[in-house]
Amino acid sequence: FPVTIQPAKNKLFIKTIPGDKLKSVVVTDIAGKTLRMELKDPMQIDVSSLMRGDYIIKIETDKSTTMKKLQVQ
């Protein structure tokens, strides 16, 4: 599914295709360490506690899973 990830400062907003149910969102550092995991239906993630830099975000819906680069400013 298409996901657009914008650079984030405090909150990351997630928008999925209508009809897809968001199952989980996992934020990891570049080394693969899990920093945040949301297991409910998170349409926004608070990233204010993360240091500036690049992270990987894994987004799972009831239909597919995708991984994207997340830049925290």
Closest CA to 44 of 17, 10, 2: 10
Tokens of 16: 């999925």
- In the chain, pLDDT over 90 holds for what percent of residues? 26
Residue 73 to residue 71: CA distance in whole angstroms: 6
Q: What is the mean pLDDT of residues 42-57?
A: 86
pLDDT tens profile 15-43: 778 888 888 889 999 999 999 888 765 67
| Cα distances (angstroms) measured from residue 11 to each of 6, 46, 67 | 10, 5, 18
